[in-house]
Amino acid sequence: MHTTARYFIKTAFMFFALGLLTGLYMYGAKVFGWFIPATLISAHTHVILMGGMLLMILGVATWFFPRPTKDDTRYNPKAVMLFFWSFTLSTLTRFIVEVWMGVTGDFGMLPLGFFVAGVQVLSTIGLIFLLWSRIRPSGSQIREAKGERF
């Protein structure tokens, strides 16, 4: 497994852990009557789905997809890492903003939350664009032409 895939997958595990701890706190809040910010549900869902699931999918994709062809001008490992870091930091910032707004009741950070959500979307689109050309047959088209079904 190469470094890029490890970054994606390990970061996804960290986001999953953050989401699990957030979920555990929310459950404890119901059981023990602790304070629960209204925005915590959104933060929890977002960090699990975007930070955990999407990064895991992209990490496994970068690991399993065939290497880029020699003439592939689209795939750029430096750009992948740039999008990875912008996605990771914007996901973490979005989580912090959601929790902060819920705890303080100050929704003045909504524009920041919207901005980092936009960075997440653009980063995701960028990562998909860079990986798109790597989604290609790697021998399966020969087996399919012979009638094999999967």
User: pLDDT tens for residues 15-70?
Assistant: 999 999 999 999 999 999 999 998 999 999 999 999 999 999 988 888 887 777 77
Take residue 17 and report the two structure tokens written for it.
């852990």
pLDDT of residue 134: 76
| Cα gap 81→97, rounded to integer Å | 24
17 vs 150, residue with greater confidence: 17
pTM over 0.75: yes
Q: What is the pLDDT of residues 79-110, one digit of tens each?
A: 999 999 999 999 999 999 999 999 999 899 99
d(CA 80, CA 55): 12
Return all residues near 8 (Cβ < 8 A) that are at least 6 apart: 55, 56, 58, 59, 60, 62, 84
